[in-house]
Amino acid sequence: MLKEGTQAPPFMLKDKDGIDVALSDFIGKKVVLYFYPKDNTPGCTRQACAFAAAYSRFKDGDVAVIGISKDSVESHARFAAKYNLPFVLLSDPTTEVLQSYDVWQSKTLYGKTSMGVVRSTYIIDEKGVIIKAMPKVKPDTNATEILEYLGK
């Protein structure tokens, strides 16, 4: 995980509509940047739906929510439409951003080791500085924990 108090690595990725979105687009507001393994899987769906259910509280607090995975723009479009997700989903097929945020790591499942996304969240302040790093978050409680941390 990146350290709290450090500048968040800049990025520009495509959203579910194929539009370029940069972290710098959000200077002046807090950003919840969450990384997840895969669209339409049980844990990732629960996590996304929890963020969607709490989205009005984030929006009222002027906090942007951004989800990033390795999935394609088209996959994100289907995922967002299926679950009515109101926040930004970004596609990182090259894993460049996943690696820069230290969430692309070796994982072992059923004795098999492979590279994948470790479900993690960063809270970034209005100046682009990481103020909270949350490794290995739980999909069902991540959104609530962030709201509690932010006092929302």
Q: Active site includes 44?
A: yes
Least confident interval from 43-47, 72-76, 105-109 = 105-109
3-state SS string over the chain?
A: CCCCCCECCCCEEEECCCCEEEHHHHCCCEEEEEECCCCCCHHHHHHHHHHHHHHHHHHHCCEEEEEEECCCHHHHHHHHHHHCCCCEEEECCCCHHHHHCCCEEEEEECCEEEEEECCEEEEECCCCEEEEEECCCCCCCHHHHHHHHHCC
Given the residues 8, 21, 44, 130, the one annotated as active site: 44
What are the pLDDT digits (tens) for 22-68? Answer: 999 999 999 999 999 999 999 999 999 999 999 999 999 999 999 99
Task: Give this prediction's pTM.
Answer: 0.96
**CB-neighbour burial class of residue 128 (10 A; exposed 0-12, middle 13-18, buried 19+):** middle
Tell me: pLDDT of 110 over 90: no
Tokens standing for 59?
A: 């929006």
What pLDDT does residue 107 have? 86
Of 66, 75, 55, residue with least CA distance to 23: 66
- Pair 30, 60: CB distance under 8 Å: no
Tell me: pLDDT of 109 over 90: no
Of 67, 69, 70, 71, residue with least CA distance to 48: 67
What's the CA gap between 40 and 16, in Å, rounded? 14
Percent pLDDT > 70 in the chain is 100
